[in-house]
Amino acid sequence: MSVTHVDTTPPSPVIEITGLRKRYRSIRRPGTTALDGLDMVVHRGQIHGFLGPNGSGKTTTLRILLGLAAADHGRMRVFGRPVPQCLPELSDRIGAVVESPRFFGSFTARLTLSLLAGTIGLPDVRVEEVLTAVGLRDRADEPVKGYSLGMRQRLAVASALLKDPDLLILDEPTNGMDPAGIREMREMMRGLAADGMTLLVSSHLLSEVEQLCDTMTIVSRGRRVTHGRVADIVAAHTSDSVTVTLADAAEGARAAEVLRRAGLAISGRAERVEVSGAESPAAVTRLLSDKGIHLSGLTRQAADLETVFLRLTGTAPVDGRYPQIDHSLLPPAARSTPDERELTVTVSEGAES
């Protein structure tokens, strides 16, 4: 009889960042703390949104992760290997568009990619594959100088895809694009994730992250303020209010009276009554049906996403208190005190400003 061993070890995260700190120093001006103990975890197969207002440290984090800048402190692992030390051995597995893409304007996209493919020993068939993946094949023989911003971004993504990476890192990939371009970019990223790629995508727009990403890390002033599944974070900040619609204004008044007597806060008027403080929408339905009042409709009030984002990122972190995490949103296993986390931080030498 053969015995099958099932490996129950959870796969290590694709990206694991702990306590990352970076201060840009200046001789003439006071320095800037860009990262103040940032933590982030990205698991395999996710599209992970890295969300924060302008200046919150997203680009700095991505640059450090890719070895384009050095951290002052912190620990980073990609595919379980420490970086930046192991970046050379990981380079084939990571594609990134972090700096503004620059191309020779008189070259076509096909020529640009073909030259890049040649330098890493890839055949031209790979160029055709990436042109198809980013939806540029029809325009691939036009000079890049005639390309829109969205097309240039797609060309940049195509160049990052040439080596068929397992992890793709994109810094604000839809910046400056029109709605059609944003939609195309989103569909392209979803297609890549569907093929098994892990994506880390930075953005300052919650609505964009909500439409694209499975999970996210929200950062403010160089610290993580919350992280987890996008749907869970949005739900956790959704208002508990519901709007019930009754047959007419008289029925609305009766319903309002019943709900008020049950201790719920009521607003609105006529046949639409807004209720907050109920345990659940079902509790509202039950209270009313017990009194013979029947609803024509019940809607949960949607979260105002931008308000959620501002509430999370608007919290003023206190310097020296690290990290500022919304513990209420973490799964119990992930909760630890800031002090416990501080112990896991190692120092990497060699800061670059």
Ligand X SMILES: Nc1ncnc2c1ncn2[C@@H]1O[C@H](COP(=O)(O)OP(=O)(O)OP(=O)(O)O)[C@@H](O)[C@H]1O
Binding region for ligand X (CB under 6 A): 24, 32, 34, 52, 54-60, 204
SS3 of the chain: helix, strand, coil, percent, to 5? 35, 25, 40
**Nearest distance from C-beta of residue 353 to ligand X, angstroms:** 6
Distance CA(280)–CA(276), nearest Å, equals 10
Burial track 275-299 (b if 16+ CB lie within 10 A, e otherwise): beebeebeebbebbeeeebebeeee
Burial class (CB in 10 A: 0-12, 13-18, 19+), 195: exposed
**Nearest distance from C-beta of residue 58 to ligand X, angstroms:** 4
**Nearest distance from C-beta of residue 315 to ligand X, angstroms:** 16
φ, ψ of residue 287 in degrees (nearest 5): -55, -45
Rank residues 60 and 348 by Cβ distance to ligand X and give the closer one. Answer: 60
**Nearest distance from C-beta of residue 319 to ligand X, angstroms:** 14
**Nearest distance from C-beta of residue 57 to ligand X, angstroms:** 4
**Nearest distance from C-beta of residue 227 to ligand X, angstroms:** 16
**Nearest distance from C-beta of residue 168 to ligand X, angstroms:** 18
Bridging pattern class, strands 242-245 and 215-220: unpaired
Distance CA(64)–CA(344), nearest Å, equals 19
Q: How many CA atoms lie within 13 A of 125 on its CB side?
A: 0
Per DSSP, the three-state class of 325 is coil
Distance CA(200)–CA(301), nearest Å, equals 30
First to last CA, the chain: 62
**Nearest distance from C-beta of residue 52 to ligand X, angstroms:** 5
184's CB contacts (< 8 A; 6+ apart) are: 135, 150, 154
Distance CA(124)–CA(129), nearest Å, equals 9
Rank residues 46 and 202 by Cβ distance to ligand X and give the closer one. Answer: 202
Rank residues 98 and 189 by Cβ distance to ligand X and give the closer one. Answer: 98
Rank residues 24 and 107 by Cβ distance to ligand X and give the closer one. Answer: 24
Place of tokens 């969205």: 150
What is the radius of gyration, based on Cα positions, of the chain?
A: 25
Rank residues 60 and 217 by Cβ distance to ligand X and give the closer one. Answer: 60
Rank residues 212 and 242 by Cβ distance to ligand X and give the closer one. Answer: 212
Rank residues 218 and 230 by Cβ distance to ligand X and give the closer one. Answer: 218
Rank residues 171 and 274 by Cβ distance to ligand X and give the closer one. Answer: 171
